[in-house]
Amino acid sequence: MSETPQPPRPEATIAEDRAADPAPSASSANAAPNTDGIWYAAYPNGVPHDVDVTQYASLVQFFDDCTARFRDRVAYVSAGSPMTYGALARKATAFASWLQVAGVRAGDRVAIMLPNTLQYPVALFGALKAGAIVVNVNPLYTARELAHQLKDSGAQTIVVFESFAKTLEDALPGTPVERIVITQLGDLLGEGLNLKGRFINFMLRHVKKMVPAYRLPQAQRLIDVLEQGAREPRAPAIPQRDDLAFLQYTGGTTGVAKGAMLTHGTILANVLQAKAWVAGQLDSGAETVLTPLPLYHIYSLTINALIFMALGGRNILIANPRDTKRVMKILRKETFSCISAVNTLYNAFLDNEEFRQRDFSGLKLAMAGGMATQKAIADRFKSVTGKPIVEGYGLTECSPIVTLNPVDVAHLADFEGSIGLPAPSTQVRMRRDDGTWAGIGEPGELCVKGPQVMRGYWNRPDETACVFVDDGWLATGDIGIMDARGYIRLIDRKKDMILVSGFNVYPNEIEDVIAQHPGVREVAAIGVPDVVQGERVKVFVVRRDPALTEDALIQFCRQQLTGYKVPRIVEFRESLPQSNIGKILRRELRDEEIRKMAKATTNKDAE
């Protein structure tokens, strides 16, 4: 980062500058004339360099357009029950009307704490139609994490799955929450709470005991709320492109979670960028996408809930993707043409015999993001399905898509690990440690400019200023390299880099090598303090082969890694900490090591 970071400018100003001068002048001392725009020559046929991101005034107009065009097509399937686009529009409008009657005004924050069920899109689009700002909440949050997000966002309304109502009860004191809407899995499996829905609710509460006792006397049931809203229709709000649509919280693994301010315009820009990219590759009104990643996460929110809505896609909702047996049971009655997942989830699916025996002849697109896809997993997936995993790259602050690989990458003989080319209307550069721009083939911090970039962090101007550098470029914290074609390869997170005797060691490289060992299921690499080398490499491994030993794994690494990169410590575990989308959390492992070392030092001093 530069020594004097510049404050962010309004999104509209940055977009206007790009339109006027999409390729900064080569005469500037800090310009990168050898990299700007070089990727256009590698764009798939028909993909424009820039897209008109003003096609819709808001996500509400976008939603109304899509649900009208695809009214009779199934939008979502949950627990075997479908919901058409038309039904979704009616229920979302009813929820919006109830919110307005209940006192929610434009700009108010509505928190949604739901897994992948039919209730999520109803609450999501209903809140947007009421003019509210959506605050997505991970249902697995602890009471402390939930309380922080509710207080920080100022949310006065929350929609919560009943299984997590006890967490809300514990988090509620001191928060501004005034309105609580409770729902159960079976509530929307039909036009009313039918026999199937009642049975599922009964099983979850009384047989599986998945609803801890709670006391929220002020809460209302979603099914009652929708009935009230349908009886008292109100005119939908009319938000504008610059109005906030989401406070999407991020950074919880590197500090206190902060809300990225995403406007209707930034999200729409990303949807339209991606739609232009896949035009001609995916068919409107014909695709079915498997949705195992949570819709409250920005990756699945934009790709599955919004981009596939623009295509009239049918989403198969998976509430708990880690229950692989349950997922396979659902898929026995389903076929899908697209899937979005992360490396760990693909790995789990590939370990399942039923998944490996599926017919993948109709599969068009397998997308990966959220974390690096390991070559061993990508190769195995292609061997099983005959289709490649197509990686992209993004981050919450960019709505999230920054780069994309061509959908049709069948011409690639092997998995290259590239995150693709900058999306249309997007500029990407690599920044050296001294603040100057890197050239082709030179590593640096990946920086982004484009209409999908966030406005900033909610109520955190100092942190906002720190990530916007050099006239509006967003510094991502990721280290990347751009080749002569414009394709980008990520090396690692800047904060995850390990420094061994002055040499940079990137965990992704080590993990990618170890993942190729047939006895390894999952792996994470971190640096631990060393008085001689500064840091040394430690890896945490979940074994596929119980007989795998530390010595055997280290010998394997020595055959493929130079000496200073070879792990010095191997720790076998039954599982590794993961985020809500299955991303392995190195930070938690590092923090654990630091605590362990501090305790050992204290005990030694006591002796």
Of the three residues 493, 508, 542, the one that is the final residue of a domain is: 493
CATH number for 573:
3.30.300.30
Task: Say yes or no: 234 and 144 in one domain.
Answer: yes
Res 240: pLDDT? 96
Give the per-residue pLDDT at 256.
65
In a domain, 262, yes or no: no
Is 67 within a domain? no
The tokens of 536 are what? Answer: 């040394």
| Lowest mean pLDDT segment, chosen from 74-83, 152-161, 415-424 | 415-424
CATH number (domain holding residue 215): 3.40.50.980
pLDDT value at residue 457: 95
- Does residue 138 belong to any structural domain of this protein? yes
Does residue 477 sit in the same domain as residue 553?
A: no
The whole model's pTM is what?
0.82
Region 108-135: mean pLDDT is 98
CA distance 607 to 596: 17
Q: Which of 219, 239, 259 is the last residue of a domain?
A: 239
Judge if 571 and 509 occupy the same domain. Answer: yes
Distance CA 571, CA 552 (A): 13
CATH code, domain with 23: 2.30.38.10
Encode burial over 16-29: b for 16+ CB neighbours within 10 A, e otherwise: eebeeeeebeeeee
CA distance 292 to 400: 18
What are 459-467's contacts with CB under 8 Å, separation 24+? 459/152, 459/259, 460/258, 461/7, 463/258, 464/7, 464/8, 465/5, 465/6, 465/7, 465/8, 466/1, 466/5, 467/5, 467/397
Question: Could you tell me which residue, 138 or 246, shows the higher pLDDT?
Answer: 246
Q: Do 524 and 584 contact (CB within 8 A), yes or no?
A: yes
Question: Which residue reads 């005797």 in tokens?
Answer: 501
Long-range CB contacts (within 8 A, 24+) of 530-533: 533/500, 533/501, 533/564
On whether both 120 and 220 belong to a single domain, the answer is yes
Q: Are residues 123 and 39 in the same domain?
A: no
Note the maximum CA span of the chain.
75
Please give the pLDDT value at position 201.
Answer: 85
DSSP string, 299-312: HHIIIIIIIHHHTT
**In this structure, are 504 and 469 located in the same domain?**
no
Angle between helices 119-129 and 222-231 (to 10 degrees): 40
Q: Are strands 133-136 and 389-394 parallel, antiparallel or unpaired?
A: unpaired
The answer to whether residue 290 sits within a structural domain is: no
pLDDT of residue 562: 82
Are 464 and 582 contained in the same domain?
no
Q: What per-residue confidence (pLDDT) applies to 321?
A: 92
Q: Which two tokens stand for residue 73?
A: 């097509």
**Rg of the chain's alpha carbons, rounded to an integer?**
24
**Which range in 240-254, 279-293, 366-380, 496-510 is most confidently predicted, on average pLDDT?**
279-293
Comparing 92-96, 267-271, 279-283, 599-603, which segment has the lowest mean pLDDT? 599-603
CA distance 428 to 482: 9
Q: Which of 441, 474, 493 is the last residue of a domain?
A: 493
Residues 142 and 226 occupy one common structural domain = yes
- Is pLDDT of 454 > 60? yes
Q: If you average pLDDT over residues 89-111, what whole number do you get?
A: 97
- Report the SS3 class of residue 507: helix
**Residue 344 included in any domain:** no
The range of the structural domain enclosing residue 434 comes to 11-49+418-493
Residues 233 and 121 in one domain: yes
Better-predicted residue by pLDDT, 82 or 199:
82
Confidence category of residue 502, pLDDT binned at 50, 70, 90: low
Residue 534 lies in a domain: yes
Q: How many structural domains compose the chain?
A: 3
pLDDT of residue 208: 84
Q: What is the DSSP secondary-structure string of 152-197?
A: HHT--EEEEEGGGHHHHHHH-TTS---EEEEE-GGGGSSSSS-HHH
| Residue 17 reports pLDDT greater than 50 | no
Query: Pseudo-torsion of CA 4, 398, 112, 98, nearest 10°?
Result: 100
Q: How confident is the model at residue 102 (pLDDT cuts 50, 70, 90)?
A: very high
* Helices within 357-499 (DSSP H only): 375-385, 461-467
Domain contains 261: no
Average pLDDT, stretch 569-577?
95
451 domain-assigned: yes
Check whether residue 448 and residue 549 sit in a common domain.
no
| Residue 536, beta-bridge partner list | 528
How do residues 321-369 score in pLDDT, each as one tens digit? Answer: 989 999 999 999 999 999 999 888 999 999 999 999 999 999 999 999 8
For residues 147-151, give the mean pLDDT. 94
Whether residues 475 and 540 fall in one domain: no
Vertex 376 angle, CA 372 and 381, to 5°: 95
pLDDT for position 230: 96
Considering the domain architecture, whether residues 460 and 575 belong to the same structural domain is answered as no
Cβ neighbours of residue 149 under 8 Å, at least 6 residues apart?
111, 135, 137, 141, 155, 249, 257, 259
| pLDDT score of 588 more than 50 | yes
